Structure 1
């Protein structure tokens, strides 16, 4: 297979790194608007893999130019969008035109819905569209779907919606809870955080509503709300709170079967307090403000300052716990992943870009047989996916308690 990655930032570079070492991949193209950045990434990959990896070719591409993107996609089996979420609808449309399997790292609920709405056209062209293939949603979605299927098998066939005017049955699964966070191993005050992915994606998580199931109903709630204390061995207490995008399509996929479904982001307490204050003061607003020096939105300025003040090279850790509750039974997946000194890749790069790379390769190889819109929690074969992640050194532990 020949694969294309659009975006040579942290995640795009890590995805190309993974693809280049796959025995099934013939070649990789790494495209970016900044050719120097793409070339630097290619040099890093070549140095890491030596003569063992597939060749990686840097090229220039403006991700906003659908025509050029589609032309570049032709001749490739699959393409991964590793650019900010607002490019993804156009790139998905370009992939359909080029007959090229498409995956992206997600980041925005509206964009994901628009992408999946093109599923019928993609199916007609024989390709898969898989949005939201990063860490959470993405890796977390695959694991959550597996827990639901395990409990479903124990409890019998899936229940369908109740007939009109008849009281609905209690959902078979009480709750599906996802807790995910990427954190520096040695946090520095006052923010106790380090940028490990796109600043646009980070702020979007803090401003867009979160989609959840509450009492079996799909509702939207404000981000940064319902904080709770979270504990995991080896770390000091954290705060878990709602952010946008983490549940992706899970509320629709599991409505009627799961009573409560949410994803909460993990941060250290001081970070949560400061971010909540910035949010409430309007620092994430996209509304332009006129100043003596010109016009700027608070969000633009905050993005700039976050890049300036919160960037760093401190080794990171990714923490994830997925829990499915049914009566007194609890099934869970837990992952603690750290920066890899051997490859010089951050944990966030490994746990975000590599799942996306795996899903794209599974589509291209036919391991994911479905065409059209792909939902991670429903359509990705969990056993094969977990084997591939384990082979890459990402260890995920399953546990169960109760009868």
Structure 2
């Protein structure tokens, strides 16, 4: 029985708890600083406890007897969780897209006797696993194009968007610098640039640069690929509308107010779809070739629980990585990249098969 502590009783933490507990092979405890979140928690068999993830003593108490911990709350608290995981000898996982947090986790992982596996979600996460697998099929790489979007099935406002996950994470993506590779060198470019349009199965989309989704791929592939870009997929018109809000109204400099406005004006939805589109171009046996991985995933029932698309794709990805580490398919100590995860093993996993 694997004992695991999930810190954050929001949508992703709750979804992970349900998936892991449902196997009968994990003993899950979920912690949160918010009493209302714990009161609303509804996964049978999972223990709950009040935990302030910024309090070193509270973390120490919560981690007693646990084998692993998952940071599933706001990205800023993950540095405290990772610090405690190193101190008390737990495997560490998170679903963050924040670059600074991941850099801190990388530092903590040096010489660790346990595994530190950040960015176990959709993007970064699955997108990195897929990109690495496609890249491995080429003798030399020219381009890796990574495109991901969590979208409402029925857009009904000027942004063509509903909130489907963390508002803080969304703002981070839209405002922080973006890692890319250009001319074989890793560089940072502004967010919400490089607007492009394309269609998948007759549905029109746009995509633009956002921060964090590329994970550690730019570090891995610098000097090995001419161009690597990550962009977020939205419905046409979203980028222009958000630029008005961020630039013309200058809300990019008032993140707290921006969050308040977005959460007050844009409803959440559970009727969503996740679009994943990765393309690799390069040479195979002297010929210029291209191969792609495309998925469109909707919410669905797992057991007796209904998951939205973003809940399912993010939680299942993280649970698959945890499963693969526990079955010795991943390095057991130190910093583990998402690129270290085998795509065939991931897709064959009981959680990863969501993407199969």
Structure 1-normalised TM-score?
0.83
Superposed CA offset, 1:48-102 (max 9, x none): xxxxxxx200110111113321331231111111111111111111111111111
Picking from 230, 240, 256, the partner of 1:263 is 230
> Is 1:360 aligned to 2:350, yes or no?
no
> Is 1:7 aligned to 2:8, yes or no?
yes
- Contact residue 6 and residue 80 of structure 1 kept, 8 A: yes
**Please, which runs of 5 or more residues in structure 1 have no aligned partner?**
47-54, 156-171, 287-297, 397-403
Picking from 57, 63, 77, the partner of 1:87 is 77
Corresponding residue for residue 158 of structure 1: none
Picking from 137, 148, 155, the partner of 2:135 is 148
> Is 1:200 aligned to 2:168, yes or no?
yes
The alpha-carbon distance between structure 1 residues 82 and 56, as it changes in their structure 2 partners (threshold 3 A), is same
Picking from 317, 338, 342, the partner of 1:381 is 342
Corresponding residue for residue 31 of structure 1: 31
Corresponding residue for residue 300 of structure 1: 256
Distance 1:256 1:392 in 2: 30
Corresponding residue for residue 188 of structure 2: 220
Corresponding residue for residue 89 of structure 2: 99
Distance 1:366 1:93 in 2: 24
SS where residue 14 of structure 1 aligns? helix
- Contact residue 80 and residue 356 of structure 1 kept, 8 A: no
- 5 Å-filtered alignment, 1:3-402, equals 3-25=4-26, 27-41=27-41, 43=42, 45-46=43-44, 55-122=45-112, 126-151=113-138, 155=139, 172-235=140-203, 237-281=204-248, 283-286=250-253, 298-327=254-283, 328-340=288-300, 343-377=305-339, 379-388=340-349, 394-396=354-356
Give the CA RMSD over aligned residues: 1.7
C-alpha deviation, 1:392, in angstroms: 6.1
Aligned length: 349
- Contact residue 102 and residue 130 of structure 1 kept, 8 A: yes
Superposed CA offset, 1:297-349 (max 9, x none): x2211101211222333510000011110042112211110022563211001
Distance 2:165 2:262 in 1: 12
The runs of at least 4 aligned residues of structure 1 exceeding 3 Å deviation read 282-286
SS where residue 256 of structure 1 aligns? coil
Distance 1:13 1:383 in 2: 27
SS where residue 133 of structure 1 aligns? coil
Distance 1:339 1:314 in 2: 8
Structure 2-normalised TM-score?
0.93
**Please, which runs of 5 or more residues in structure 2 have no aligned partner?**
none
SS where residue 252 of structure 2 aligns? coil
The alpha-carbon distance between structure 1 residues 102 and 265, as it changes in their structure 2 partners (threshold 3 A), is same
Higher alpha-carbon deviation: 126-135 or 354-363: 354-363
C-alpha deviation, 1:204, in angstroms: 0.4
User: Looking at CA atoms only, which structure, 1 or 2, has the larger radius of gyration?
Assistant: 1
- Contact residue 321 and residue 332 of structure 1 kept, 8 A: yes
SS where residue 29 of structure 2 aligns? strand
Higher alpha-carbon deviation: 16-25 or 184-193: 16-25
Superposed CA offset, 1:108-149 (max 9, x none): 112211211112142xxx211111111010011111111122
The alpha-carbon distance between structure 1 residues 393 and 130, as it changes in their structure 2 partners (threshold 3 A), is closer
- Contact residue 67 and residue 94 of structure 1 kept, 8 A: no
- Contact residue 97 and residue 123 of structure 2 kept, 8 A: no
